[in-house]
Amino acid sequence: MDTPVVLRPARVGDIPAIAALYAVEVRDGLATYEYAVPDAAEMQRRWRHLVDHGFPYLVAELGGRFAGYAYAGPYRGRIGYQWTVENAIYIDPDQQGRGVGRALLQALIDACEAQGFRQMVAVIGDGSNAASVRLHERLGFTTVGVYQGLGRKHGRWLDTVQMQRALGAGNTTAPAGPAVPRWPG
């Protein structure tokens, strides 16, 4: 029997696990183009900033163990983008292929729709990350562009895939009001 994925809002006590998982990606991976590993205090500051501005930040557990995290944040800083979010998902390599990414992304979509966001963008930091592209496609995202050689990490130029998914009514109707209390600047 498969262990169910348990999802919940991230808490301050999750920050060490979040920071450790992100550190592996910064040091060894290509999902982020960040070079210097942020410490737990910086990761807590980033988490707090998003949560304080009304963005969802979720943790997944399998068998009571941290399995990954996901969050939505501003796509761009200008007020006209306030109904659009960008997602980020990081899964413990030992937990990949067990439905964690799908559960996190679906919960993130649902939370953002409930808050009135109208578009979600995925910026996939390594164009060859087929698993991330497939995950997003399975949940309704389409590729809207590929930036060739947009970033550089580990001694090579990397393509960046841009994917998009409508949330709720998407761009078919005007929003009722701001999607979040105030857009972070």
pLDDT tens across 130-173, in order? 899 999 999 999 999 999 999 999 999 999 999 999 999 999 99
State how far the Cα of 170 lies from the Cα of 167, in Å rounded to an integer. 5
Mean pLDDT, residues 56-66 taken together: 96
Per-residue model confidence (pLDDT) at position 181: 52
Domain span at residue 47 reads 5-166
Task: Indicate whether 177 belongs to any domain.
Answer: no
Tell whether 183 is covered by a domain.
Answer: no
pLDDT at 80: 87
Phi/psi of residue 175, nearest 5 degrees: -70, 155
In a domain, 22, yes or no: yes
Q: Please say whether the beta carbons of 69 and 10 come within 8 A.
A: yes
Taking the C-alpha atoms of residue 37 and residue 3, their distance in angstroms, rounded to an integer, is 31
Domain count, the chain: 1
Give residue 180's pLDDT.
58
Give domain status of residue 160, yes or no.
Answer: yes
CATH number of the domain bearing residue 99:
3.40.630.30
**Residue 71, SS3?**
strand
Give the residue-averaged pLDDT of 13-30: 96
**How far apart, in whole angstroms, are the C-alpha atoms of residue 17 and residue 94?**
14
The answer to the question of residue 113 being in a domain is yes
Query: Does residue 49 sit within a domain?
Result: yes
Is 71 part of any domain?
Answer: yes
Average pLDDT score over the chain: 92
Does residue 45 surpass a pLDDT of 90? yes
Which amino acid is present at 172?
T
